[in-house]
């Protein structure tokens, strides 16, 4: 199996150069916020293993919140440029490809960063600035860009055949479709090797193992922890300001350029060790869950996320959340609130100003208006966003994969009709 | 605290609870305020029909009033998000190119081609006049003259009255069969396991401002001077329907099966009955046998196509497509460990319902005549009006994510078979002009190349205030 890797590279932006950097990044776009796959700086479209990528200046509009409700936190934090990507294979492979294809462009971009040295080894510099995200989610681990594009071509070819024979019976159509499918190259999908399976089981056992090891401490401490949580939940201030129309226009100007959108958000954690350790534990569990339980297209009941990641910054005082989701922002928010409010509460209620939760999973995001405002307050524009498969959603990917499986299955009667209906 | 909108009937404009089907004459008078000092005293003299009045007596004429953000500003009301107005209302239906894209208002539907709605033709006020067929022209003429004398101008392109009989939309289908039943008595508590199933009874706060919504909270609304209380957001779109084009296309595709194909595209029979074969179901909040069905028993659209018009604009989905099966199974389903993504692609309907008050205009053409080309030389259409309390989550969601989207419910390449603009995706690489269904033998069928049957020709987001709110808006500052 070819696994997917998440890459998060961040470096401090030189003082006063954020605007020049933003203008430079803009030259990479074909439409507002949307990368031209063949842009001169980093031609994303030439990297066959890249699913999604973004360059983003992590300008945090919520930092002033600290003075209002968490004065014990530093008033300022450094401004960073981040490169965030999800790819097939290892991070090192992607970085090597990037350096090979786009060295001058990357140098131009990162020359706006404080400690960038054009004479230093670029690959080593990128590695040195990599931050390992605390949690990542992949819609369907193992599904490569190659597989996605081949299956999209398969669907297109079969659909053309289907539409060309509107009166054909399912059996007649099946024969025609199988013939049409032969013209499409389908690289065999690698399966897990024995060693990979063993490694996966070992990784799976980490959670029960840690739980067992920590239980002598955690179980007796539980009443205290619960009291700490309840006290905080009932006293932590909420900050969900009324959205500004101008900022909303800025954010929406770079949205809905494709059927999939990028989402970037940044914010501070609530001060104190309790929230810090709770976040570390929660994100560790999310990361484990994403690897072992949510591996076939669904994060809880949310089916629209291609990739998502949670990354600590500034000694875990701040968290960056990035995702790639199908549909529009409002629908994405609703989907989250209605289907996984518990998950949002667990993963974000340690954020400064988050709507009031109860018992960690209740309420919180269900305060629809406050929650949407909180999200908006923390959302930041992504300067450049790239997606390898424009016009296709997770539902499309999953359907195309089912169509491919149907090629080799022995289909008759209603199963055959169901297969054709999907084409 | 229980809040019953019924107790406030004297403050609520009647249209949010009454369709006035017996008054078949209608005039959608769009005004611009040129002189607010003159306009205000005149507007104060208008007899705006309250719900209490409509309940108490049979009315021979009705007048309702709503304002765009520009209209409220012209009258001196502060229209800002901080004042509690919906950001989408402030922006306006055509105020942002991205919004137009989401709503499908692109290409031939683009605001630049509208009869009214943008620039000098952006209305300030909608006066909706209803009366008997014989009286509507006189009422409209009198009101227009009075408006002119009071420093208002009318926006051309939309001044004609209509007396097309109600009950059928121009393609010939019974219209307005399914409406949400709002909780006027204030007895509903949303959020329990009951909501895993579809229900038609909807929280009052989804229609009127100042009441708890489906999330159980009262959303922001203009509270200063009670301007917003008992108000609602009114979406008005003028839709031109190509009746001859629709029936001729259907006849060409399906021959003798034209009516059946059209019924599959709509998702109902011509007379409003559900498609045959849908199991009847008991639904909270409706007694109408024509609405006693869900799509849960037809998850793959073998009876009612997934992309059928009525299935898109109200998928009759509960909070969980698997419904309600006791605590443990509900819990397993909630965390996503049962069921499939494929059958969980549609949001819960209760957060996305609107109340419709549309009326057709132009001659009524029977399908058989339309197939022969009748009506091709006349403009026929719909004054589409709907009410909601949260434009982004209700109207815009239904129009954008459900009707206009080529990705609704995981479909591949089709928009709403009636409303779609048919513009391709991904820089032209992906068509959106198909429609798929299962025929009588349950064989899957797909048709590509649907033409555009409906064209948007005007639109506005308006605020329909309660009567006390109206008094505040019209008081001399």
Instruction: Spell out the domain ranges in chain B.
Output: 5-237+458-474
What number is the average pLDDT over the span A258-270?
97
Q: Taking the model in full, what pTM does it have?
A: 0.96
Contacts of B300 in chain A (CB under 8 A): 418, 421
Residue A133 lies in a domain: yes
The number of angstroms, rounded, from the C-alpha of A317 to the middle of its chain's C-alpha atoms is 21
Give the whole-number percent of chain A exceeding pLDDT 70.
Answer: 100
Which residues lie below 8 Å from residue B347, measured CB to CB, with a gap of 6+? A331, A334, A335, A338, B315, B317, B397, B401
Judged by CB atoms closer than 8 Å, whether chains meet at A368 and B213 is answered as yes
Judged by CB atoms closer than 8 Å, whether chains meet at A399 and B413 is answered as no
Q: What is the pLDDT of residue B1?
A: 56
Q: Which of A293, A334, A391 sits opposite B351 (nearest CB)?
A: A334
Look at residue A235 and tell me whether its pLDDT is greater than 60. yes
Which residues lie below 8 Å from residue A410, measured CB to CB, with a gap of 6+? none
Look at residue B251 and tell me whether its pLDDT is greater than 90. yes
Secondary structure of residue B288 in the 3-state scheme: coil
CA distance B250 to B370: 11
Name the residue of chain A whose CA is nearest to B396's CA: A330
Q: At what angle do helices A394-408 and A413-421 cross, to 10 degrees?
A: 140
CB A76 within 8 A of CB A318: no
Q: What is the pLDDT of residue B159?
A: 53
B444 has a chain A CB within 8 A of its CB: yes
From A317's Cα to the closest Cα of chain B, the distance in A is 29
What number is the average pLDDT over the span A104-132?
97
Which residues lie below 8 Å from residue A76, measured CB to CB, with a gap of 6+? A63
Question: ipTM of the predicted structure?
Answer: 0.94
Contacts of A293 in chain B (CB under 8 A): 337
Q: What is the pLDDT of residue A288?
A: 97
Q: Which two tokens stand for residue B379?
A: 């403009």
Judged by CB atoms closer than 8 Å, whether chains meet at B219 and A244 is answered as no
Averaged confidence pLDDT in chain B: 94
B441 has a chain A CB within 8 A of its CB: no
Look at residue B396 and tell me whether its pLDDT is greater than 80. yes
B407 has a chain A CB within 8 A of its CB: yes
Secondary structure of residue B73 in the 3-state scheme: helix
Q: Which 63-122 residues of chain B touch chain A by CB within 8 A?
A: 81-82, 87, 90-91, 96, 98-99, 101-102
Q: At what angle do helices B36-45 and B133-149 cross, to 10 degrees?
A: 150
Judged by CB atoms closer than 8 Å, whether chains meet at A390 and B427 is answered as yes
Contacts of B430 in chain A (CB under 8 A): 391
CA distance B415 to B413: 7
Q: In which residue are the tokens 């022969």 written?
A: B372
Q: What is the pLDDT of residue B158?
A: 56
Judged by CB atoms closer than 8 Å, whether chains meet at A391 and B425 is answered as yes
What does residue A140 show for φ and ψ, rounded to 5 degrees? Answer: -145, 85
- Determine the structural domain holding residue A337 and report its residue range: 4-142+192-387
Burial (CB count within 10 angstroms: exposed 0-12, middle 13-18, buried 19+), residue A216: exposed
Judged by CB atoms closer than 8 Å, whether chains meet at A249 and B96 is answered as yes
B300 has a chain A CB within 8 A of its CB: yes
Contacts of A368 in chain B (CB under 8 A): 213, 215, 217, 219, 393
Pairing of strands B232-241, B454-464: antiparallel
pLDDT digits (tens, 9 = 90+) for B329-361: 999 998 888 888 889 999 999 999 999 999 999
pLDDT digits (tens, 9 = 90+) for A165-192: 999 999 999 999 999 999 999 999 998 9
- The residue of A38, A376, A391 whose CB has the most chain B CBs within 10 angstroms, and thus the best one to mutate to test that interface, is A391
Q: Which of B81, B337, B400 sits opposite A243 (nearest CB)?
A: B81
Contacts of A244 in chain B (CB under 8 A): 81
Pairing of strands B201-202, B181-182: parallel
Secondary structure of residue B405 in the 3-state scheme: coil
Least confident interval from A67-76, A246-255, A328-337? A328-337
Q: What is the pLDDT of residue A415?
A: 96
CB B66 within 8 A of CB B464: yes
Which residues lie below 8 Å from residue B244, measured CB to CB, with a gap of 6+? B365, B370, B373, B374, B375, B376
Which residues lie below 8 Å from residue A100, measured CB to CB, with a gap of 6+? none
pLDDT digits (tens, 9 = 90+) for B239-249: 999 999 999 99
B335 has a chain A CB within 8 A of its CB: yes
How many residues in chain B?
477
What number is the average pLDDT over the span A102-112?
98
Of B309, B284, B312, B279, residue with least CA distance to B294: B279
How many residues in chain A?
423
Q: Which of B87, B344, B401 sits opposite A301 (nearest CB)?
A: B344
Name the residue of chain A whose CA is nearest to B101's CA: A256
Q: What is the pLDDT of residue A199?
A: 94
Look at residue B287 and tell me whether its pLDDT is greater than 80. yes
CA distance A243 to B100: 20
CA distance B273 to A389: 42
Of B43, B475, B45, B471, residue with least CA distance to B231: B471
CA distance B460 to B155: 13
Name the residue of chain B whose CA is nearest to A343's CA: B335
Judged by CB atoms closer than 8 Å, whether chains meet at A367 and B400 is answered as no
Element (H, E) at A268: strand A260-268
Averaged confidence pLDDT in chain A: 96
Of the pLDDT bands very low, low, confident and very high (cuts 50, 70, 90), residue B429 is confident
- The residue of B341, B393, B400, B437 whose CB has the most chain A CBs within 10 angstroms, and thus the best one to mutate to test that interface, is B341
What number is the average pLDDT over the span B136-147?
94
Q: What is the pLDDT of residue B129?
A: 96
Q: Which of B217, B335, B348 sits opposite A300 (nearest CB)?
A: B335
CA distance B424 to B6: 47
Q: What is the pLDDT of residue B165?
A: 81
Q: What is the pLDDT of residue B157?
A: 55
Of the pLDDT bands very low, low, confident and very high (cuts 50, 70, 90), residue B412 is confident
Q: What is the pLDDT of residue B225?
A: 84
Number of structural domains, chain A? Answer: 1
Residue A174 lies in a domain: no
pLDDT digits (tens, 9 = 90+) for B9-63: 999 999 999 999 999 999 999 999 999 999 999 999 999 999 999 999 999 999 9
Residue A244 lies in a domain: yes
Which residues lie below 8 Å from residue B301, measured CB to CB, with a gap of 6+? B295, B307, B308, B311, B436, B437, B438
Q: Which two tokens stand for residue A218?
A: 């955690």
B389 has a chain A CB within 8 A of its CB: no
Contacts of A358 in chain B (CB under 8 A): none
Q: What is the pLDDT of residue B2?
A: 67
From B233's Cα to the closest Cα of chain A, the distance in A is 17
């Amino acid at each position: 199996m070819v696994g997917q890797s998440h890459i998060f590279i961040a470096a401090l932006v030189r003082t006063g150069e954020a605007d020049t950097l933003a203008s430079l990044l803009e030259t990479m776009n074909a439409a507002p916020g949307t990368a031209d796959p063949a842009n001169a700086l980093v031609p994303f479209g030439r990297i066959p293993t890249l699913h999604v990528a973004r360059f983003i200046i992590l300008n945090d509009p919520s930092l002033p919140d600290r003075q209002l409700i968490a004065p014990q936190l530093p008033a300022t934090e450094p401004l960073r440029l981040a490169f965030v990507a999800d790819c097939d294979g290892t991070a090192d492979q992607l970085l090597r490809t990037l350096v090979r294809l786009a060295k001058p462009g990357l140098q131009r971009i990162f020359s706006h960063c404080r400690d960038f040295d054009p004479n230093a080894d670029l690959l080593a510099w990128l590695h040195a600035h990599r931050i390992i995200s605390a949690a990542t989610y992949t819609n369907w681990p193992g599904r490569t860009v190659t597989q996605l594009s081949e299956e999209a071509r398969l669907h297109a070819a079969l659909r053309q055949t289907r539409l060309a024979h509107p009166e054909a019976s399912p059996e007649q159509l099946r024969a025609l479709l199988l013939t049409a499918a032969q013209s499409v190259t389908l690289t065999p999908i690698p399966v897990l090797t024995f060693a990979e399976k063993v490694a996966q089981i070992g990784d799976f056992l980490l959670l029960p193992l840690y739980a067992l090891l920590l239980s002598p401490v955690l179980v007796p401490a539980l009443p205290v922890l619960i009291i700490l949580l309840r006290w905080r939940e009932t006293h932590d201030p909420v900050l969900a300001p009324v959205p500004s129309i101008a900022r909303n226009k800025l954010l929406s100007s770079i949205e809905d350029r494709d059927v999939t959108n990028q989402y970037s958000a940044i914010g501070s954690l609530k001060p104190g060790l309790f929230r810090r350790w709770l976040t570390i534990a929660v994100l560790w569990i999310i990361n484990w869950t994403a690897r072992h339980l949510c591996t076939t297209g669904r994060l809880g009941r949310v089916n629209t996320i291609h990739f998502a990641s949670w990354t600590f910054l500034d000694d875990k005082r701040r968290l960056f959340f990035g995702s790639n989701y199908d549909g529009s922002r409002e629908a994405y928010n609703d989907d989250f609130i209605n289907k996984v409010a518990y998950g949002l509460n667990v993963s974000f209620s340690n954020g400064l100003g988050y709507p009031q939760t109860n018992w960690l999973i209740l309420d919180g995001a269900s305060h629809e208006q406050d929650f949407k405002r909180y999200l908006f307050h923390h959302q930041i524009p992504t300067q450049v966003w790239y997606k390898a498969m424009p016009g296709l959603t997770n539902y499309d990917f999953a359907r195309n994969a089912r169509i491919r499986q149907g090629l080799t299955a022995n289909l008759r009667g209603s199963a055959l009709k169901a297969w054709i209906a999907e084409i | 605290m229980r809040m019953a909108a019924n107790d406030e009937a004297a403050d609520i404009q009647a249209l949010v609870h009454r369709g006035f089907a017996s008054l078949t004459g209608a005039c959608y008078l769009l005004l611009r305020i040129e002189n607010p000092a003159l306009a205000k005293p005149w507007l104060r003299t208008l007899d705006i029909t309250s719900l209490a009045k409509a309940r108490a007596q049979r009315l021979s004429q009705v007048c309702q009033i709503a304002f765009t953000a520009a209209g409220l500003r012209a009258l001196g009301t502060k229209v800002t998000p901080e004042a509690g107005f919906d950001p989408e209302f402030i922006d306006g239906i055509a105020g942002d190119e991205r919004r137009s894209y989401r709503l499908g208002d692109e290409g031939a539907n683009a605001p630049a081609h509208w009869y009214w709605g943008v620039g000098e033709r952006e209305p300030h006020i909608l006066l909706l006049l209803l009366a008997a067929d014989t009286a509507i022209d006189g009422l409209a003429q009198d009101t227009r003259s009075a408006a002119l004398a009071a420093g208002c101008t009318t926006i051309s392109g939309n001044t004609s009255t209509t007396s097309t009989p109600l009950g059928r939309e121009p393609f010939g289908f019974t219209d307005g069969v399914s409406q949400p039943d709002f909780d006027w008595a204030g007895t509903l508590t949303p959020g329990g396991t009951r909501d895993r199933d579809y229900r038609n009874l909807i929280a009052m706060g989804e229609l009127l401002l100042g009441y708890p919504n489906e999330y159980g909270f009262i959303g922001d609304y203009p509270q200063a001077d009670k301007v917003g209380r008992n108000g609602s957001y009114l979406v008005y779109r003028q839709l031109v329907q190509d009746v001859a084009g629709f029936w001729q296309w259907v006849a060409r595709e399906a021959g003798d099966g034209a009516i059946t194909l059209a019924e599959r595209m709509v998702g109902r029979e011509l007379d409003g009955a559900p498609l045959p074969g849908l199991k009847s179901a008991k639904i909270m909040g409706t007694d109408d046998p024509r609405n006693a069905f869900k799509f849960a028993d037809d998850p793959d659209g073998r009876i009612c196509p997934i992309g059928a018009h009525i299935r898109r604009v109200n998928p009759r989905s509960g909070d969980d497509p698997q419904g309600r099966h006791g605590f443990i199974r509900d819990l397993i389903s909630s965390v996503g460990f049962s069921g499939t993504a494929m059958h969980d692609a549609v949001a819960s309907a209760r957060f996305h319902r609107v109340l419709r008050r549309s009326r057709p205009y132009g001659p009524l053409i029977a399908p058989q005549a339309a197939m022969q080309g009748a009506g091709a030389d006349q403009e026929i259409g719909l004054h589409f009006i709907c009410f909601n309390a949260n434009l982004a989550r209700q109207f815009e969601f239904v129009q954008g994510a459900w009707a206009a989207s080529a990705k609704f419910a995981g479909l591949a390449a089709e928009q709403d078979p009636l409303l779609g603009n048919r513009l391709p995706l991904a820089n032209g690489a992906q068509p959106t002009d198909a429609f798929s269904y299962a025929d009588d033998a349950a064989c899957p069928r797909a048709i590509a190349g649907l033409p555009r049957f409906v064209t948007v020709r005007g639109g506005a987001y308006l605020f329909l205030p309660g009567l006390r709110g109206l008094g505040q808006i019209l008081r001399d500052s």
